[in-house]
Amino acid sequence: MIWFSMIIPFVVFILVLIFFHHKLNFLEIGLMLALPLIIVFICKVSAEYVQTKDKEFWGGWVKSAEYYEDWNEYIHQTCTRSYPCGSDSKGNTQYCTETYDCSYVQYHPEYWQVNGSNGEEIEVGKNKFEELAKRWNSRKFVDMKRRHYTNDGDKYVANGTVERSLIEPITVEHSWTNRVQASRSVFKFPEVDPKKYGLFEYPSITDWYRQKMILGDESTGTFKANSDLAYWNAMLGAKKRLRCYILIFKDKPIESAIEQQSYWQGGNKNEFIVSVGVDKDLSVKWCHVFSWSEREGLKVDVKDYVLSMKKLDLEKLIEWMAPQLDTWFVKKNFRDFDYLQVDPPGWMIGLTFFLTALCSVVTAVVSVKNEA
């Protein structure tokens, strides 16, 4: 639809050609058609980018933590400046140029960072570094051998581990292109009211790199289970980019999970989401699993396992499910959806028509006036 706006410059071009053909040259004719085309192309690409931009979360672990001491360095440089140094025969002020030493001392403050298993570098606070160094019983001095001025700052490194009791899971946000969420065809999910069943938002990242992975009633014992799931999301995230969430719906019908799937647009391509309905006694009433995983049988197996529980036991579920995910989860290749047409929203189409018309008219008027 957005490409139909190119009719405008062609109409303007024909009108100008009829009434002012003797005043146009090839360059002006080219600009009258090329500039609107560029505008349409930019609007089309921008609209598609905005509609398909999405975020997903990658799991991993902290491989090392680093503390960089503050230091300074002498920056030697020469600058120039102008100054009045007389006047010419007409009385105008003349200026001369001189050079001078404008060297300075550059100060670099101390900072702390962690390095993730997926190549992340995240700046953290002093307390976090000290906590990790103490937990891992690891602190190595590294001489930076900098060309310093008066303060030679070095660094200290604490190396991490994947040992389950000592590992430091990490979560980072990653951008990707999701054509499904912008599609208005067969993959279009119905609009839902998140307030109706109290649907979940994606949990935010806190404390630099932490994220809740079990959402719902805290009375289900989610603290220890969150730690367990964080460990497996770290291991499987680094290995398979897999991200697992467990959503707990207390005293709500299975329709709440169906609407959650629509609200999250089926989830991200790397996610495996288990929705569980429980009553006040934590008895399992229903289970709904959604994921773009290529292995449909995996979702059925997890659902059957949850339904076989009399009462929801998150720790038991996670320990059983993790090896299944490791063996059977296959992340969907979303390039399979490259064929999906992404139509710009109505306001963008209207804006494109307006900008194209404005550009066409202005270009035509300028071209005619220049030849007048």
E strands, the chain, are 53-68, 71-75, 78-87, 93-101, 104-108, 111-116, 121-124, 140-142, 155-159, 169-177, 214-215, 243-250, 271-278, 284-291
Considering the domain architecture, whether residues 15 and 33 belong to the same structural domain is answered as yes
Considering the domain architecture, whether residues 135 and 118 belong to the same structural domain is answered as yes
Considering the domain architecture, whether residues 211 and 258 belong to the same structural domain is answered as yes
Considering the domain architecture, whether residues 227 and 308 belong to the same structural domain is answered as yes
Considering the domain architecture, whether residues 194 and 273 belong to the same structural domain is answered as yes
Exposed/middle/buried for residue 369 (C-beta within 10 Å: 0-12, 13-18, 19+): exposed
Out of 138, 159, 180, a domain closes at 159
pLDDT of residue 45: 74
In a domain, 167, yes or no: no
In a domain, 166, yes or no: no
* DSSP for 88-148, written as a single string: -TTSPEEEEEEEEE--EEEEE--EEEEEETTS-EEEE-HHHHHHHHHHHT--EEE------
User: Quick one: DSSP state of residue 216?
Assistant: S
Count of structural domains within the chain: 3
Residue 57 and residue 290: Cα distance in Å, rounded?
Answer: 17
In a domain, 241, yes or no: yes
* CA nearest to 158, candidates 123, 210, 207, 115: 115
pLDDT of residue 48: 72
Considering the domain architecture, whether residues 260 and 360 belong to the same structural domain is answered as no
In a domain, 171, yes or no: no
In a domain, 181, yes or no: no
Residue 271 and residue 243: Cα distance in Å, rounded?
Answer: 5
Considering the domain architecture, whether residues 110 and 193 belong to the same structural domain is answered as no
In a domain, 18, yes or no: yes
Considering the domain architecture, whether residues 75 and 102 belong to the same structural domain is answered as yes
pLDDT of residue 154: 95
pLDDT of residue 64: 97
Considering the domain architecture, whether residues 310 and 223 belong to the same structural domain is answered as yes
pLDDT of residue 85: 87
* DSSP for 171-193, written as a single string: EEEEEEE-STTT--STTPPPP--
In a domain, 46, yes or no: yes
Residue 114 and residue 123: Cα distance in Å, rounded?
Answer: 6
Q: What is the pTM of this model?
A: 0.79
**Domain range for 14:** 2-51+344-370
What does each of the 372 residues of the chain score in pLDDT, given as a tens digit?
A: 666 667 776 677 677 666 665 556 666 666 667 777 787 778 777 777 777 788 899 999 999 999 999 999 999 999 999 988 888 888 888 999 999 999 999 999 999 999 999 899 999 999 999 999 999 999 999 999 999 999 999 999 999 999 999 999 999 998 877 777 767 666 678 889 999 999 999 999 999 999 999 999 766 667 789 999 999 999 999 898 999 999 999 999 999 999 999 999 999 999 999 999 999 889 999 999 999 988 889 999 999 999 999 899 999 999 999 999 999 998 887 766 666 777 776 666 777 777 777 777 777 776 666 655
Considering the domain architecture, whether residues 83 and 219 belong to the same structural domain is answered as no
Out of 159, 179, 213, a domain closes at 159
Residue 280 and residue 301: Cα distance in Å, rounded?
Answer: 25
Spatial neighbors of 360 by CB under 8 A, at least 6 apart, are: 8, 9, 12, 13, 32, 36
Question: What is the domain-level CATH number for residue 204?
Answer: 3.10.310.50
In a domain, 235, yes or no: yes
Out of 141, 159, 177, a domain closes at 159
Considering the domain architecture, whether residues 330 and 357 belong to the same structural domain is answered as no
Considering the domain architecture, whether residues 121 and 153 belong to the same structural domain is answered as yes
